[in-house]
Amino acid sequence: MMMMNSENELLGVVPIIPTPFTENEEIDEDALRSLIDFAITSGIEAVCLPAYASEFYKLTDDEKLQVVRVAVEHAAGRIKIVAQSNHPSLKIAIKLAKANVEAGADVVSLAVPRIFSLPEDSLKVYLSEFLQSIPSTPVLIQDFNPGGSSISVEFIKNLMEENPNFKYLKLEEPLCAPKFDNIIQSTKGKIGLFEGWGGLYMLELIPIGIRGVMPGLAVADILQRVFNLRSNGEHAKAFDLFEKVMPQIFFSLQNMELFHYAEKELLMARGILKNSIARKAAYIPDPSSIAYIKELNQRVIDVLNDESWEIKPLETTLSKE
């Protein structure tokens, strides 16, 4: 099992790798390898899968382990792999986590179970036992709770004090700058905070001291540039670049299934994927939405083609064929 050290640190943009599918909705391993290559050449240090943006909730447990194994093997140490091990059953979540550690994942991630409302005492038992099951592996906990508030600051502090491998926390909620600041102060910065929800709130939170953001893969290189600019005090340029891609992010996040379609369409436009297939049940966009997504995605492509933004052009598997 992997021991924690400075090489495990996550920083900057850690995008979610979508799950690519063939025409019959089977996992396309070759396409997944192309996505990993794309991430490696985009100037980021780590990726995460299979998460919400990977359609993890449509994958069997064996398929969840399959995509992590393929990613680890193909990355071959060139990029860190954060292996999501989500399951509402603690027993199965631990089984997934241990298998992902065995496969060579650098960090294990777990979403707080939110199918039904649970008191924090129940969540504490679930998360504590999970953390203790892989004590030598860094863990990132994600809390996405559309129906209520995320885990409390006191809860986070206590969980960290009792579990040294609780290293990262990803929250996805608006107007959370005061809470993020409170977490940093209460934990003395020992918990690396990541903002989700497509990176939509990143400009607000970077000055607070977040460690990074976890958006979709298709705009990861652009958001890494935004993150660097904002972190280095080039605020006007960071805002100008972020404003170029914000309409695409905002529109796609109106519905998680719409996000899958828009994300994969943008990866197709960038020459990384051959199709935008999502497993059913999937969002079927109307003609006006299809046209608008194409327009938004083209605006992202225009940014990538503008050399003044200093975003490294990418060579892709498909573009070489």
125-152 mean pLDDT? 95
Task: Say if residues 94 and 129 touch (Cβ distance below 8 Å).
Answer: yes
The residue that leads in pLDDT, 39 or 315, is 39
Average pLDDT (276-281) is: 98
Fill in the amino acid letter for 47: V
Residue 312: pLDDT band (50, 70, 90) is low
Please compute Rg for the chain using Cα positions. 19
- pLDDT the model gives residue 148: 85
Give the model's pLDDT for residue 4.
Answer: 36
Q: What is the mean pLDDT of residues 22-47?
A: 97
Task: Report pLDDT for 64.
Answer: 98
Strand-pair category, 212-213 with 192-195: parallel
pLDDT tens string 149-187: 899 999 999 999 999 999 999 999 888 999 999 999 999
**CATH code of the domain occupying 6-320:** 3.20.20.70
CA distance 92 to 60: 12
Domain ranges of the chain: 6-320
User: Strands 46-49 and 12-13: what pairing?
Assistant: unpaired
Q: Distance between CA 119 and CA 104 in Å, rounded?
A: 33
Q: For residue 313, is pLDDT > 80?
A: no
| pLDDT, tens only, 76-119 | 999 999 999 999 999 999 999 999 999 999 999 999 999 999 99
Q: Is 268 marked as a binding-site residue?
A: no
Region of 131 (left: φ > 0; alpha: ψ -120 to 50; beta: rest) is alpha
Q: Are 257 and 247 in contact (CB under 8 A)?
A: no
Token match 């890494």: residue? 224
